[in-house]
Amino acid sequence: MLKYSVALRRQGVGENKRVEAPGQKAKLKTESVDLFYGSYHALRDITMDIPACAITAIIGPSGCGKSSLLRLFNRANDLIPGARVEGQIYLDGEPIYGNATDVVLLRRRVGMVFQKPNLFPMSIYDNLAMGPRRHGIRRRAQLDEIAERSLRQVALWDELKDQLKKPGQELPVGQQQRLCIARALAIQPEVILMDESCSALDPASTMKVEELMEELAQQYTIMIVTHNMEQAVRVSDMAAFMMIDEDKVGRLVEYAPTVEMFSRPADKRTEDYITGRFG
């Protein structure tokens, strides 16, 4: 446990005011959610409130269902044949699982950034404009505005403003990932899901993205999955620790403000995992 306190102090997290149990209001709520891939039971009884305008980190060993959980929030699992969800998730109090849900609208409100930069083989501009275009925005001036706004949000505008016609995939990986974040921001979501979005990046780019996350958290609700405990400590306000149980089903073991979890884990399994991971 000592190691962590050191890590925490080193990061100055202890002094960070945002650490006080944030989010008066829950942006997202899950209620006894179970997820099945065909007959495979992937998640059991997940109940948690995700605070608005804060960063919630999901941590846990490989294969415990972190990605599966994250993908529930924009119904990305809908695309997997045989995937089935029980229980309910609420976005601003409205259920998102049900026949009445407009999944397309949901995905406009809950954006996603993937593990590897996944720009399309087209120009920087067209990548940024893709989301807005799909929502029916055609006017060039408006698209230009959106492109500029979202590039500024990820601090890429000055670097890229003169090369918007350049294929996005020719940029360095770090910039590509920030561009992917900008692309997600271009549709003005309320929630941003990031699944190990720094794992393909070098430390310098990781730092940039982390700074970016903290800035975005003032305005957006952010959920990240990470294998990097330092990162969880550095950026997140809330931490969720997941693990598979005896039946190999993913469970939410502990969910608490990050500082609390990393300084006084309530569950022995949490403690074992995080001490093992900081070494």
Partner 1 sequence: MRKKPRVGEKVVVGIIWTAAVLVLAVLAAIIVYILVKGLPQLSWEFLTQIPRNMGRAGGISSTIVGTLLVTAVAIVIAVPFGVGTAFYLAEYTKEGIITRIIRFSAESLAGIPSIVYGLFGFIFFVITLKMGYSVLSGGLTLAIMILPTIIRTAEEAIRTVPNSYRETSYSLGATKWQTIIKTVFPSSLPGIVNGIILSVGRCVAETAAVMLTAGSILRMPKSLGDSSRTMAVHFFILASEDISMEKAYGTAALLILLIFLINVVANILVNRFAAKRR
Write the DSSP string, 23-88: -SSEEEEEEEEEEEETTEEEEEEEEEEEETTSEEEEE-STTSSHHHHHHHTTTGGGGSTTEEEEEE
Q: Closer CB to ligand ATP, residue 80 or residue 266?
A: 80
The pair of three-digit structure tokens given for residue 40, joined into one six-digit string: 């495979």
Q: Tell me which of 118, 142, 163, 219 binds partner 1, using CB under 8 A.
A: 118
For residue 270, the minimal CB distance to ligand ATP (Å) is: 15
Please report where in the chains the tokens 């120009």 appear, as a residue: 123
Stretch that binds partner 1, among 10-18, 20-28, 113-121, 260-268 (CB under 8 A): 113-121
Give the footprint of partner 1 on residues 221-250 (CB under 8 A).
none
Please report where in the chains the tokens 């720009």 appear, as a residue: 119
Q: Does residue number 196 form part of the binding site for partner 1 (CB under 8 A)?
A: no
In contact, 70 and 77? CB cutoff 8 Å:
no
Q: Does residue number 183 form part of the binding site for partner 1 (CB under 8 A)?
A: yes
Residue 42: which of ligand ATP, Mg ion, partner 1, none does it interact with, CB under 5 to 8 A by kind? ligand ATP
Residue 79: which of partner 1, Mg ion, ligand ATP, none does it interact with, CB under 5 to 8 A by kind? partner 1
- The Cβ-side half-sphere exposure at 135, using a 13 Å CA radius, reads 17
What's the farthest any 2 CA atoms get from each other in the chain? 57
d(CA 176, CA 246): 40
Q: What residues line the site for ligand ATP (CB under 6 A)? A: 37, 40, 42, 62-68, 80, 250
Q: Does residue number 67 form part of the binding site for Mg ion (CB under 5 A)?
A: yes
Q: Closer CB to ligand ATP, residue 65 or residue 131?
A: 65
For residue 84, the minimal CB distance to ligand ATP (Å) is: 11
Contacts of 161 (CB under 8 A, 6+ apart): 148, 151
Q: Does residue number 22 form part of the binding site for partner 1 (CB under 8 A)?
A: no
Q: In the complex, which residues of this chain contact partner 1 (CB under 8 A)? A: 74, 76, 79, 81, 104-105, 107-108, 111-112, 114, 118, 120, 122, 126, 129-131, 133-135, 183-184, 187
